[in-house]
Amino acid sequence: MSRKIEELDVFPRYGKLLANPWSLKRKLIYKVLPIHTLYPLRDELRLAWVRWKSRSVPDQYRNANNLFVNLGAGGKGKPGWVNVDSYPFPGINCVYDCRKQLPFPDESVNGIFCEHFFEHLDYTEEVPYFLSECHRVLTPGGVMRIVVPDSEQYMRAYCMEGWEEISKVRPLDLEQRDHHYHCKINVKMELINLVFRQGSEHKYAYDYENLEFVLSKFGFSNILKQSVGESLLPEICLDQSERASESLYVDAVR
């Protein structure tokens, strides 16, 4: 006897994918391999293809210098910058998997901006490579700006009674629906998991102490907690103001 299972209206909405009537083949695949396993595998296979296609990209920057680089730029590329992403969004002029390697020469980059990408890196397998590469390509005195969800803010707000404080960090509408994913948040722990896990996309949650530790470990100095719009190098301050309430801003010098 078939059963109708009520779905949880939370991100990611795997149940809505299964409800798609045209995709019998897709449903059969999902019965063999669960979606929460299939999607990360699909993404890794795509990234392997990106690495293969972009293997000549370092040649394009062989003699480059005085660069400004936006890593994991998404659709927020800035004219005049090297905007790096594994997806060819509008404004992306360097399609590259930058998790373990950067295509730039030693000491060729004046500033790096990295907003809401660093938390997508595996803490033990990818972060050491990524930060070492960022340190390598920066000029002495060059600045890296990292922006991530601020775990300390979220945890403090979670411990407060009611929804008022956590809604200041992550805006929710009057029906407690998330403004970005448009799913209803039933209990505060759902919101914490949405932010810290985002399905399987987010790999690690940071506070300032943790971010300062890893930046220092991989060679950076003068590591400062900043505010939105405030940086040691104003040129690299590309902050999205709509993410300010939930974000941790950190500058680090090579």
Helices (H), the chain: 14-18, 24-32, 35-53, 57-60, 127-137, 151-159, 164-169, 188-197, 208-217
Would you say residue 90 lies in a domain? yes
- 144: left (phi > 0), else alpha (psi -120 to 50), else beta? beta
Report residues of the chain scoring pLDDT below 70. 1-5, 15-30
Are 240 and 192 members of one domain?
no
Q: In whole angstroms, what is the distance from residue 222 CA to residue 253 CA? A: 6
Is residue 6 in a domain? no
**DSSP one-letter code for 132:** H
pLDDT in tens, 3-39: 666 777 788 877 665 556 556 566 666 677 788 888 8
Residue 174: per-residue pLDDT? 85
Q: What is the pLDDT of residue 11?
A: 82
- Structural domains of the chain, count: 2
Q: Is the pTM above the cut of 0.85?
A: yes
Judgement on whether residues 174 and 188 belong to the same structural domain of the protein: yes
Domain that holds residue 240: 66-147+206-253
Dihedral sign (CA 63, 77, 84, 109): positive
The DSSP symbol for 99 reads S
Q: What is residue 39's predicted lDDT score, i.e. its pLDDT?
A: 87
Question: Which among 215, 156, 216 has a CA at the least distance from the CA of 188?
Answer: 156
Q: Is residue 12, in this structure, part of any structural domain at all?
A: no
The answer on 140 and 93 residing in a single domain is yes
- Report the CATH number at residue 131: 3.40.50.150
Q: 167 and 118, same structural domain?
A: no
Residue 20, pLDDT score:
60
Nearest to 165, CA basis, from 174, 156, 177: 156
pLDDT at residue 94 in the model: 98
On the question of a cis peptide bond just before residue 12, with omega within 30 degrees of 0, the verdict is yes
Return the pLDDT at 77: 93
